[in-house]
Amino acid sequence: MSAIFSLFKLRLTLLVLVSALMGYLMGCNEVDTGKIIGLLFGGLLLTGGSNGMNQVFEREYDALMNRTKNRPIPSGEMSVMWASIISFFSGLLGIAILWVFISATCGILGLFAFLSYVFLYTPMKRMSSLAVFVGAFP
């Protein structure tokens, strides 16, 4: 489990969940406990899956840096295959939970967040400082 927590960058993921919860509470007319649970659980899986896929694609670079060389993939604690499977299906399940328990719009935004984080932000990090701006949207 510690490898999955590390793959999901659990501390960062928890900060995203706090932000999502605050956004929900500021925007809702009445608090719906079911939607909050769906938001937190779906958001955990979606954000964790996105962070994991980021590490799958960045594994060679992570192995070279002191700050990241102990992450699950470069350290050998988790294979690329298992990290990919866990991350992809966690992201997919998170999107489905957001879609079913909150709304189709929330699920579509979750899909956009996953795709833009993994396929725009991740490769852009090595090319431009504008990646910080792009990575803020997901």
Residue 131's pLDDT is 83
Report domain extents, the chain.
Answer: 2-136
Residue 12's pLDDT is 93
In tens, the pLDDT along 4-35 reads 999 999 999 999 999 999 999 999 899 999 99
Task: Annotate 41-102 with DSSP letters as a single string.
Answer: HHHHHHHHHHHHHHHHHTHHHHHHSTTTTTSTTTTTSS-HHHHHHHHHHHHHHHHHHHHHHT
SS3 label, residue 126: coil
In tens, the pLDDT along 72-114 reads 999 999 999 999 999 999 999 999 999 999 999 999 999 999 9
Residue 25 region by backbone torsions, left for phi larger than 0, else alpha for psi between -120 and 50, else beta: alpha
Residue 33's pLDDT is 95
Identify the weakest region by mean pLDDT among 41-55, 64-78, 91-105, 117-131: 117-131
CA distances from 117 to 5, 69, 76, 106 (A): 19, 21, 24, 16
CATH class belonging to 2-136: mainly alpha
Q: Of 21, 44, 51, whose CA–CA distance to 117 is shortest?
A: 51
Q: Tell me the pTM.
A: 0.92
Residue identified by tokens 């990575």 is 135
